Structure 1
Amino acid sequence: MSQKTMPIRRFVRGLCIALAAVAMTTLSLTVAAPAQAAGVDALCTLGSDAYTFSPGLGLLPAANTFTAAGVSSSTCAVAPSGVTGVTLTSASGSGNVGCATSSGVSGTALFTWSDSVTSTVAISGLVLGLSGAAKIVTLSGTVSSGRFTGDTVTLVYLSTANTLLCLSGSLTNVPGVTTALTFTSV
């Protein structure tokens, strides 16, 4: 096996694992969607988001700021009557962030529902698991105003970022596909 094909094989293997994880998550959410779980006000999947970090992320956490916006809307399997989807309109925050771990993250996110109602979220956590094959990113917080005020929010997405840039501390763009966006009443 040549030196040139090894990175490609690793990339393909990682991509296959990631796609299998998305398929299993989507299947489990689709099967569970008709029966609304107690306390779940909204459950949405398959949108896409893009996060930008400054300075670039490295392997170890360091002081960082981030912004984010939705590229496409998530489709909601569980939502209020007449609501079909939601988009991450904007997000921004700061904390100690690295490709594999983070701490002290805070900020604000704005979600816009398909009926134009909004939810403002106080971000309390951002966990990047970009060092493994699955490349999972999790954003969490609490709705501070708008639809579902007081709900806990968890946004999980599968990143398509070029994580080799973590080695040089230059990973600035972290796009991905939403596997689960959940608004849960406390």
Structure 2
Amino acid sequence: MPATSQLAALYAVAFGGFVAFSVYLPTYLVTSFGLDRGDAALRTAGFVVLAVAMRPVGGWLSDRADPVKILVAAFVVVGILALAAAFEPPLMPVGTLLFLGIAGALGTGTGAVFALLARLVAPGEVDAVTGVVGAAGGLGGFFPPLVMGVVFGATGSYLLGFVLLAATAAAAAAFTATVVRRRAQCPAAEHASPDTPPQTGHRA
């Protein structure tokens, strides 16, 4: 089902980005800023806690507004902050604020994806689609750390890796604002049974 693949792609960016940062952020902090591993792990824990805390906030906002708009805003914020982080500003306070902002946006995005799922998927298919989308998020977090490692090994800098993250977030925002928005505006057509007669727009 197209809706499943679209939601899986969006969750791969949102939750996958969260997983990737959780895995690779300690290495990045040690390599780029010379932190000891304990300090880097503590700062990463703060990133994780904020992202997790913002997930229900993303769902709450989506219940009160359009989840498409919430998701687009989250991806735009991730893109802007990732681009700023590419230039490795001082960790205190600018770098810390950038990473916390990315954490908050990714957490909000994960909540918005599942709010959107409830609107796009027929009730009888929610459980199956949720499993597929959740698996996509895990896979989405597998590749970015590998890419960051390859990029740093080849260039000695993380700039290109952050630029790729910003480009991915921008593409996800554009995809959500166009293709996913159109589907969200007419989900009933997809859920209709082939045996259901078309509505004529009037009653006898």
- TM-score, with structure 2 as normaliser: 0.28
* More strand, by proportion: 1
When Rg is computed on C-alpha atoms for both structures, the one with the higher figure is: 2
Give 1 or 2: higher helix fraction. Answer: 2
Question: TM-score, structure 1 length as denominator?
Answer: 0.30
